[in-house]
Chain A
Amino acid sequence: MSIRKVVISLAAAAAMLAPAAALAKTVKVGVVLTFSGGAAQFGDLIEKGMKLYMKEHPQAFGDNKVELINRDSKNPGGAVAKTMVKELITREGVQMLAGFVFSPNAMASAPLATQAKVPMIIMNAGTAWITKLSPYIARFSFSMWHAAYPMGAYAHDKLGCKTAAVGYTDYPPGKDSLEAFKTGFEKAGGKVVDAVPMGGPREVPDFTPFLQRVKDAKPDCFYVFVPSGNHAAAVVKTFGDLGMAAAGIKLIGPGDLVPDTELQGMGTPATALTIMHNYAADYDNPANKAFVKAWKAAYGASTTPDFMAVAGWDGMAAIAHAIKVQNGDVTAAGTMKALEGWKFDSPRGPIMIDPKTRDIIQDEHVEKIVDDNGRLKVKVIDTIPQVKDPCKALKIGKCG
């Protein structure tokens, strides 16, 4: 082919594409998650949830496309995440930020989102007052108070616990969860006899000295918050090893304690648990049935999604909505406006973004683990509908 013909063909092609190109925009989204180290599975789950939504609902974005640029925040320390966010904004020119597994990473990145005017879609980090750190943050996972506060009242009123001990990992969500449970429990008339910080989120410590201390204190209920995954599996195991259920101590906690991905490996000790959570893969609603089916088809029949994967899915649905409403010209203020009051039929049930706080409103379920022919299943025994984050609603501490 002669040069002239090549140039003419290219010009013709460009001319054909130009009108479409003028309409369809590519929105760059910087994804900051832990992709390495002990927490790598969380980043993996959230990313899979995000990508699954993009695969199943390509039309939700309008004519626009989303380009995901991943960065590994490596650990819960905050410093690496902050550097990655800076890079994404200055070097890659992202228009949105998404992800954030650990609270310290979200907390460190919030000032950058405000400074650069980039919307931040949080898909896990649960410390209650994070949404106050920037006007451009919207959260699609939960606040520690969503589960812990109602659990406090439930433990006293329905489980009959007069005294409780709390074990928590010593970092912001842990302390937040402790405060939330304590406030709810003591308001209902209970007494927290011991609050035990159990090491940090980076490494899984040997939980035995901490649980031994709780066992020796003989509380009615033992509320535990640890990061999901390895920490949770270790705690449940140690609880079983020390025979604490036989000693009359009820183990309770938020859903991080029994993520669907670890549930089957936990064995019999898990059946002693009572959980308050917003999602389990066993939930019986049409949106979830479709979600789990699509998940297994895409990622393998032996895999399962969990609450982090759902947050990725819902967060991406929100991103799609924001992009579509703004016709691909994404701004921070415009995104927040599009998401305030946004309602969605999530696999976890109906959710809404609170227009005042930009945090999520969702149902909370009381769950027990039951043995169903050798396979552990989550059974919902009670539901508290459309819970708003109590910390911000009651204006407690840093949420006020």
Chain B
Amino acid sequence: MGDVLVATVSIAFDGFAYAMLLFMISVGLSVTMGLMGFVNLAHGAFAMAGGYVLVSLMNSLGVPFLPALVIAAIVVAVFSVPFERVLYRPLYRASELEQVLLSIGLVYIAVGGITYIYGPQPPHIALPSFLEGMIDLGFKSFPAYRVFVIVIGLVTALGLWLGLERTIAGARIRAAVDNRRMAQSVGIKVDRLFMLTFALGSGLAAVGGGLAINILGLNPRFAFIYLVFFLIIVVVGGMGSVRGAFFAAILLGIIDTGGKYLWPEGGAFFIYVVTMAILLVRPQGLFGKPA
């Protein structure tokens, strides 16, 4: 295979795997931000929590990888509900600044708390053997784990799309994102809807966090480090848009991976240039509603 073709395939594959991970973590944030307009910088903390719950389940309780992922998602989703009621709900009408400050405060609590409980070292988990090694597709072999992540990401995207487009609950969510007052006046219980969406988003983020352990690595500062990326995906994709989050994640993943592959000295630069360019032209994001 020609060099350029090899490079392109490598970048596309790695970038896509990275993108699926970021998508799973960010999609919940996009929907909740679109629904309630709440600037939530702490979303990454749910992903991080998911990762650490997974670690505890696997290393302390001996639960195998796949069931542990599911359990971690459920645990985080359930625990996110009291968070939403007690901390976020009082601030829906508050200024952006206060929302930013509250969520930054939550990130600090999460980071400090996790460091205290688990220590600063990145935790390790053992993957099941069918997820290790390479899968040979003839022209190139690919790491099995990344293929797995891509599959899960695509399944999640499809599931969310079907859920939003084809179910009544999904229709209610879309209605509330489009026009909350109208949706309420039609009788949609927006508060309950939001609670469910928040839980779902947090649960998905937890799955993303668990999957991230063997790609990005997990450590107590995860919520800080990737905060910017999740925000970028939501804002570039457009708040409230699953499609937007999907495409923005792919854009981000490919640009970041391509940047590192082609220009390792300064590759990280490009994402921010692209983000700013998009926001300057379309402040509402690619698929967001105009202000």
Contact = CB atoms under 8 A, between A and B. Distances in A.
Q: Do chains A and B touch in the complex (CB under 8 A)?
A: yes
Interface string B112-148: 0000000111101000000011100000010101100
A203 interface: yes
Given A204-B217, A243-B141, A197 B122 contact: no
Contacts of A196: 264
Nearest to B3: A216
Interface string B213-242: 001110101000100000000000000000
A174 to B, nearest CB: 12
A189 interface: no
Given A209-B11, A209-B14, A216-B6, A38 B120 contact: yes
Contacts of A38: 120-122, 219, 221
A216 B120 contact: no
A370 B219 CA distance: 30
Nearest to B17: A208
A170 B216 contact: no
A38 B225 CA distance: 13
Contacts of A40: 119-121
Nearest to B124: A265
Given A170-B265, A209-B11, A216-B3, A203 B257 contact: no
Contact of A212 (B3, B14, B124, B216): B14
Given A38-B219, A206-B215, A243-B134, A213 B122 contact: no
A197 B265 CA distance: 6
Interface in B2-22: 3, 6-7, 10-11, 14, 18
Q: Which of A196, A210, A212, A242 has the most CB of B within 10 A?
A: A212
Interface string B233-263: 0000000000000000000000001101100
B120 A37 contact: yes
Contacts of A230: 121-122, 217, 219
B82 to A, nearest CB: 30
Contacts of B7: 213, 216
B264 A197 contact: yes
Interface size class of B (residues with CB under 8 A): 20 to 34
Contacts of A241: 132-134, 143, 145
Contacts of B257: 208-209
A199 B26 CA distance: 24
Q: Which of A170, A208, A233, A243 has the most CB of B within 10 A?
A: A208
A209 B10 CA distance: 8
A234 B124 CA distance: 10
A42 to B, nearest CB: 11
Contacts of B219: 38, 204, 230
B139 to A, nearest CB: 13
A233 B214 CA distance: 12
A40 B225 CA distance: 18
B261 A213 contact: yes
A41 interface: yes
B134 to A, nearest CB: 5
A109 to B, nearest CB: 23
B132 to A, nearest CB: 8
A198 interface: yes
Contacts of A83: none
Interface string A208-251: 11101100100000000000001001100000011100000000
B3 A210 contact: no
A302 B138 CA distance: 44
Given A212-B261, A243-B134, A206 B122 contact: no
B261 A210 contact: yes
A212 B17 CA distance: 14
B234 to A, nearest CB: 21
A241 B217 CA distance: 14
30 contacts: A36-B120, A37-B120, A38-B122, A40-B119, A40-B120, A40-B121, A170-B265, A197-B265, A199-B260, A203-B221, A203-B225, A204-B122, A204-B219, A208-B143, A208-B257, A209-B14, A213-B264, A216-B3, A216-B6, A216-B7, A230-B121, A230-B219, A233-B124, A241-B133, A241-B134, A241-B143, A241-B145, A243-B133, A243-B134, A243-B141
Interface of A: 36-38, 40-41, 170, 196-199, 203-206, 208-210, 212-213, 216, 230, 233-234, 241-243, 265
